[in-house]
Amino acid sequence: MSAKNTPKKEQNSKEGLFPLSWSNYKLMLIGFGIIILGFVLMAGGGSSYPNVFNYNIFSFRRITLAPIVVLFGFAFVGYAIMKKSKE
């Protein structure tokens, strides 16, 4: 039998069908939660009267904090994808 015709080694039952481990998926869900939190922090700031300008849209929370939280969430999801399992 040549090397081309040898059967492939079967996968262990622990590996399963998913390319990542369950800890990676849990970390990804946490990262998506952080991203959603950042977008919630950006929301709001509208005025109930269309002719009145509301300066609260320029608050520290909406201009600085929320984008940093969203970027941290995206970085956390990237880490969750790249993290190797200990198994």
Model confidence over 26-69: pLDDT tens digits? 999 999 999 999 999 999 877 788 888 888 888 999 999 999 99
Contact 62, 42 (CB under 8 A): yes
Q: How far apart are CA 79 and CA 27, in angstroms?
A: 9
Residue predicted with more confidence, 4 or 27: 27
- Measure Cα distances from 27 to 38, 58, 61, 68 in Å: 17, 32, 25, 19
The secondary structure of 8-26 as a DSSP string is PPPPPTTT-S-SS-HHHHH
Contact 38, 73 (CB under 8 A): yes
pLDDT tens-place string over residues 12-38? 555 567 788 899 999 999 999 999 999
Q: What are the extents of the domains in the chain?
A: 19-82
